[in-house]
Amino acid sequence: MTVEIRVPVLGESVTEATVGQWFKKVGDTVTKDEPLVELETDKVTLEVNAAESGRLDEILAAEGEDVEVGALLGHLTAGAAGATSAAKTEAPKEKAEDKPAAAPAPAAKAEPAQTPAPAAKATSVEVMPAAQKLIDENNLDAGKIRGTGKDGRITKGDVLEALENGGASPAPAAPAATPAPAPAPSGPRPEEAREERVKMTRLRKSIAARLKDAQNTAAMLTTYNEVDMSAMLDLRAEYKDLFLKKHGVKLGFMSFFTKACIAALKETPAVNAEIDGDDLVYKNYYNMGIAVGTDSGLVVPVLRDADRLSFAEVEKGIAELGKKARDGKLSMADLQGGTFTITNGGVYGSLMSSPILNPPQAGVLGMHKIQERPMVIKGEIKIRPMMYLALTYDHRIIDGKEAVTFLVRVKDALEDPQRLLLDL
Higher pLDDT residue, 141 or 12? 141
Q: Higher-confidence residue: 60 or 15?
A: 60
pLDDT confidence band for 73 (50 / 70 / 90):
confident
Long-range CB pairs of 350-357 (<8 Å, 24+ gap) are 351/388, 352/224, 352/388, 352/390, 353/390, 354/222, 354/390, 354/392, 355/222, 355/390, 355/392, 356/211, 356/214, 356/215, 356/220, 356/392, 357/214, 357/218, 357/220, 357/392, 357/393, 357/394
Please state, in angstroms and rounded to a whole number, the distance separating the CA atoms of residues 71 and 410: 48
Look at residues 207, 397, 396, 395 and name the one whose alpha carbon lies nearest to residue 283.
397
CB neighbour list of residue 347: distance below 8 Å, 6 or more residues apart:
293
Who has greater pLDDT, 373 or 113?
373
Q: Identify whether residues 270 and 175 lie together within a single domain.
A: no
Contact (CB, 8 A) for 335 and 243: no
Helix (H) or strand (E) holding 214: helix 202-217
The pLDDT value given to residue 418: 82
Q: Would you state the pLDDT for residue 200?
A: 77
Residue 121 sits in the same domain as residue 210: no
The average pLDDT across 157-180 equals 56
- Tens-place pLDDT, residues 304-337: 999 999 999 999 999 999 888 888 788 888 888 9
pLDDT for position 183: 56
Torsion of CA 32, 34, 39, 44, to 10 degrees: 110
pLDDT higher than threshold 60 for residue 388: yes
pLDDT tens track for 246-290:
999 989 889 999 999 999 999 999 999 999 989 999 999 999 999
**More confident position, 160 or 8:** 8
pLDDT for position 154: 79
Identity (one letter) of the amino acid at 89?
Answer: T
| DSSP sequence for 228-289 | E-HHHHHHHHHHHHHHHHHHSS---SHHHHHHHHHHHHHH-GGGGEEEETTEEEE-SS--EE
294 and 174 assigned to the same domain: no
276 plus 153 within the same structural domain: no
Lowest mean pLDDT among 71-75, 229-233, 241-245: 71-75
**pLDDT over 80 at 394, yes or no:** yes
Query: What confidence category does residue 390 fall into, taking pLDDT thresholds of 50, 70 and 90?
Result: very high
pLDDT at 15 over 90: no
Q: Which CATH number belongs to the domain containing residue 123 in this structure?
A: 4.10.320.10
In a domain, 50, yes or no: no
pLDDT exceeds cutoff 70 at 25:
yes
- Domain assignment present for residue 109? The answer is no
Whether residue 365 has pLDDT greater than 90: yes
Q: Which secondary structure element, helix H or strand E, spans residue 66, and what is its range?
A: strand 66-68
Residues 145 and 238 in one domain: no
Do residue 156 and residue 295 come from a single domain? no
Give the pLDDT band (50/70/90) at residue 82: low
Model confidence at 98: pLDDT above 50:
no
pLDDT band at 122 (very low <50, low <70, confident <90, very high): very low
Tell me the average pLDDT across 131-156. Answer: 75
pLDDT at 380 over 90: yes
Q: Judge whether 360 lies within some domain.
A: yes
- How confident is the model at residue 72, as a pLDDT? 86
More confident of the two residues 12 and 359: 359
Q: How many residues does the chain have?
A: 424
In a domain, 21, yes or no: no
Torsion of CA 312, 299, 398, 271, to 10 degrees: -20
Domain at 375, CATH number: 3.30.559.10
Are 72 and 43 spatial neighbours (Cβ–Cβ below 8 Å)? no
Q: Are residues 253 and 173 in the same domain?
A: no
Report yes or no on 192 lying in a domain.
no
Residue pair 342/290 in contact by the 8 Å Cβ criterion:
yes
- 187 within domain boundaries: no
* Percentage of the residues of the chain whose pLDDT score is greater than 70: 78
Are residue 210 and residue 160 in the same domain, yes or no? no
- How far apart, in whole angstroms, are the C-alpha atoms of residue 213 and residue 208? 8
Same domain flag for 172 and 246:
no
Give the Cα separation of 226 and 412 in Å (integer): 10
Tell me the per-residue pLDDT of 176-201, one tens digit each, with 9 for 90 and over: 444 455 555 555 666 656 778 877 77
pLDDT at 358 over 70: yes
pLDDT at position 199, please? 77
Closest C-alpha among 1, 2, 7 to residue 72? 7
**Active site members:** 395, 399
Q: What is the mean pLDDT of the chain?
A: 79
377 and 417 together in one domain: yes
Is 48 in contact with 39 (CB distance < 8 Å)?
yes
- Smallest CA-to-CA distance from 42 within 164, 206, 165, 240 is with 206
User: Could you give the number of structural domains in the chain?
Assistant: 2
Residue-level pLDDT at 266: 95
Query: Is the same domain home to 171 and 219?
Result: no
> Considering the domain boundaries, does residue 226 fall inside one?
yes
Query: Which structural domain, as residue segments, surrounds residue 357?
Result: 203-421
Separation between Cα atoms, residue 264 and residue 410, nearest integer Å: 6
Query: Does 86 fall in a domain?
Result: no
Instruction: In whole angstroms, give the CA distance from residue 306 to residue 309.
Output: 5
Q: What is the pLDDT of residue 129?
A: 64
288 and 150 in a common domain: no
The pLDDT, as a whole number, for residue 185 is: 57
